[in-house]
Structure 1
């Protein structure tokens, strides 16, 4: 048996590869390196640069490496960009995923795990959102992911394939051994932006909106450590391989922190009181989105890093390493 990890040179995908390699899995990474980095791919696995929509290439990888499962991370992930360039997102996230699924069916792939997003829920209330909530995404990014969820469910109903859909909330942190972390230039993740500001890589950081119906007026989000996230994928993969039924699950801890709380935590962890500029709301930002985490916890998933200062500290260490490695100028 082997696992094909698409987007395995990216932030979350590279952590998935580390997790699988650490437990002795045979792994093949397919990544076009548009946003990923070949140096983040673990040396214990096979790496191929290419496109997930390339039927001949993906078929060859499946056949040559005895692949029985695909874990699909490849795609575009910036919500504001999806509003400005929706066709890019429907091509990269929906059309390419459709082609990948077709290739998997043609080659008898038994299990498919899909990287989805909490953006499929759209504008929700202040209470944790469960997987059976009404799905009303408000961005092309969220819609592109939801379309892929629908395709996967329809295909699995028609073919001998089981699947897992994992809806990510706010992924943060880095590998505890500092083997990988969030490395994308210009990334918009709050914790990454805040630690970059603490390091002087940004002159200041912005907080978008302070008049939301939350305790301090800033948006509330559920932050999950990337290593806990990929461990959930591993548990789901084992479940499917053991004959378990297809599942859709939220990936979050079930509690949220406001933007101001995150910024304060970064200042405390780094010891740097960096400038923060409060500005108007961004269109489409829900006041709060926190995972209803009952399903994932029922899978015997036991988070190891459910602590905001720990997540921030690892992100900060990685950003310091990355800054030294790349010797890059301030942004």
Structure 2
């Protein structure tokens, strides 16, 4: 006869012990806890997302004309805060990477990594994205968008892009000027252009190479629109250029949304149209752990039997309280 395996012998002993002692629920709870600690590998089809997010880090993004928790903050600060919320909401299996935009390039600094296993690293690197990483003061947003498309396309066919900017070109574009994009087919890469900023033109803070404040840009320090054949002559001031971002979104075949509150970015990046249904490892340990907890509560916590044991004691106490003291009579 083939000897039984240790697991079978253990289960047989557990059944005998449970049957003889009435501790079946306790043993079942132990088994469930074992499954919670050493769970089998489970793969389920679930929606995941794959994004390469590009942040505009030019100086106009330091304008404090947006709010976060009822406090005025810079556009870049609001963008980072909104992205933190997205990281916490993306389902496991999703991937996110970082790019930064300045001058005319959107440069990949971190290719997409899985959000759950790299959550702390993504948060830490996100907090370090600021104007100190800027390598030039120019802001050719239209070219930056096309480079964001190229960057996402080079990572993989399932990678979408998010480009967050106020849309201000510096120097301004010439009339009817469009970015070179002969290698880009509209809609070739899915994604979003996210606009951030207020509607009223305000001064742009000037910063040094290390991010230290250096006053504000003056009109005579920047190229004005009239010099490029345009009509705007307040390029030393900044507001959200929504019309320009919308036209760029249409040009590359993506959608546009305004970031006027943090959850606007989350709604965009968790849009089901951009999800991929893929088999992913799914953590189901909470199910046997919860069942084990319920069994332990049922086994050890006060239950109906415990209440029944207390009820006679309560009735006896009431009967004792109802007996009048000696020498006294109950009033009629």
If asked which structure has higher relative contact order (CA below 8 Å, sep 6+), I would say 2
Query: What TM-score does the superposition give when structure 2 sets the normalisation length?
Result: 0.30
Query: What TM-score does the superposition give when structure 1 sets the normalisation length?
Result: 0.30
* Higher gyration radius (CA): 2
